[in-house]
């Protein structure tokens, strides 16, 4: 049984009496211990779909159809109170900005201990010692002293380590990490991603890694969902997506980034136009206005998602070679 199974999830924004779909019927599964990356640009629905899984959607957003099954349990049918118990204990989240996700007026220790006591039946002393162990595990030096300090005493990278310690507090089965290193420097980013990969491996924790960085995807994810305009357009093993993309959007993304493993003079081939605006009506495939391969059916029919791909005219390997 999959750890998480999402079926046909649709999330809509209600604003000024109109309803706009931000996530348009996505389905995917994640297996225990697996790292799945969600890749996409602004407005692709990668963050909103994950907030829906966590039951953390803003008031103006709601799930209009679909199901989210976690460990055999239908999350969407749970009460707020029941969902709150799942969050933190079974599923936890790491956000992009560690400064805004920590309480600035409470010590780091009290915030870690809160999340331990909330989810595990431990005495205060046991919770204290677990907090120490967690800080050590995420590589915070001098943890006894650090527990008494406040978020502003910590650098960005250190705060993100604390967030990971809090996320690990109850030994969850799934961590959803939304751009966990986007705000960090490159050398610190590598430290944090290696740390996350290590703790997931050691604890058998599954991870949904939301990112726009294709290098991170290639390096740290087992599988990838490429999202565009609220839909998953391609899914597959990280290696296959990176070396032999079949969807023209995935291919376009890969051609848009300068890469250190390529000739520096290799021209970038950007995707023309702008990412699909959720508020604009686009018929058929939402990528068709920007797609070099679009033909008549792309304008009229939404491509079905099958065999890990939603495209009327997927790229053939031979065709790709001819193009490059």
Give the interface with other proteins as residue ranges (CB under 8 A): 41-42, 155, 157-158, 185-191, 193-194, 197, 212-216, 218-220, 238-239, 242-243, 252-253, 255-261, 264, 267-272, 274-275, 290
Q: How far is CA 121 from CA 91, 110, 118, 135, 269, in A?
A: 17, 16, 8, 20, 55
Q: How far apart are CA 81 and CA 53, in angstroms?
A: 15
| Bridge partner residues of 63 (DSSP) | 11
CA atoms within 13 A on the CB side of 269: 13
For other proteins, give the closer residue by CB, 30 or 140.
140
Q: To the nearest whole angstrom, how small is the minimum distance from the Cβ of residue 153 to other proteins? A: 12
| 3-state SS record for 47-64 | HHHHHHHHCCCCCCEEEE
Q: To the nearest whole angstrom, how small is the minimum distance from the Cβ of residue 185 to other proteins? A: 4
206-211 vs 174-178, strand pairing mode:
parallel
For other proteins, give the closer residue by CB, 70 or 220.
220
For other proteins, give the closer residue by CB, 16 or 81.
16
Give the CA dihedral 245, 8, 52, 54, nearest 10 degrees.
Answer: -90
CB neighbourhood size of 266 (10 A): 11
Q: To the nearest whole angstrom, how small is the minimum distance from the Cβ of residue 232 to other proteins? A: 17
Q: To the nearest whole angstrom, how small is the minimum distance from the Cβ of residue 63 to other proteins? A: 26
Q: How far apart are CA 31 and CA 146, in angstroms?
A: 35
Q: To the nearest whole angstrom, how small is the minimum distance from the Cβ of residue 272 to other proteins? A: 8
For other proteins, give the closer residue by CB, 9 or 158.
158
Q: To the nearest whole angstrom, how small is the minimum distance from the Cβ of residue 108 to other proteins? A: 16
For other proteins, give the closer residue by CB, 130 or 146.
146
For other proteins, give the closer residue by CB, 104 or 267.
267
Q: How far apart are CA 189 and CA 183, in angstroms?
A: 9
């Amino acid at each position: 049984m999959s750890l998480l199974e999402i079926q046909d999830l649709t999330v809509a924004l209600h604003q000024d009496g109109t309803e706009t779909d931000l996530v348009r019927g996505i389905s995917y599964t994640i297996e225990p211990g697996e790292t799945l990356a969600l890749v996409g640009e602004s407005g692709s629905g990668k963050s909103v779909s994950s907030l829906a899984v966590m039951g953390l959607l803003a008031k103006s957003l709601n799930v209009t159809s679909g199901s989210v099954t976690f460990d055999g349990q239908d999350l969407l049918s749970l009460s707020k109170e029941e969902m709150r118990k799942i969050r933190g204990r079974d599923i936890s989240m790491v956000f992009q900005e560690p400064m805004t996700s920590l309480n600035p007026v409470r010590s780091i220790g009290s915030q870690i201990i809160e999340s331990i006591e909330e989810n595990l039946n431990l005495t205060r002393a046991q919770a204290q010692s677990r907090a120490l162990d967690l800080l050590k595990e995420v590589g915070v030096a001098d943890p006894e002293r650090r527990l008494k300090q406040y978020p502003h005493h910590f650098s960005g990278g250190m705060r993100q380590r604390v967030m990971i310690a809090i996320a690990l507090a109850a030994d969850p089965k799934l961590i959803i990490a939304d751009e966990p290193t986007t705000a960090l420097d490159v050398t610190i980013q590598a430290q944090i991603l290696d740390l996350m990969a290590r703790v997931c491996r050691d604890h058998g924790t599954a991870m949904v890694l939301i990112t726009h960085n294709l290098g991170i995807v290639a390096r740290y994810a087992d599988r990838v969902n490429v999202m565009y305009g609220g839909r998953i357009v391609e899914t597959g093993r990280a290696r296959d997506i990176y070396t032999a993309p079949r969807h023209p959007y995935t291919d376009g993304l890969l051609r848009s980034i300068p890469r250190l493993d390529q000739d520096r003079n290799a021209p970038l081939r950007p995707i023309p136009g702008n990412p699909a605006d959720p508020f604009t009506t686009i018929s058929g495939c939402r990528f068709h206005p920007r797609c070099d391969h679009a033909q008549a059916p792309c304008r009229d029919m939404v491509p079905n998602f099958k065999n890990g791909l939603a495209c009327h005219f997927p790229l053939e390997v031979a065709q790709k070679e001819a193009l490059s």
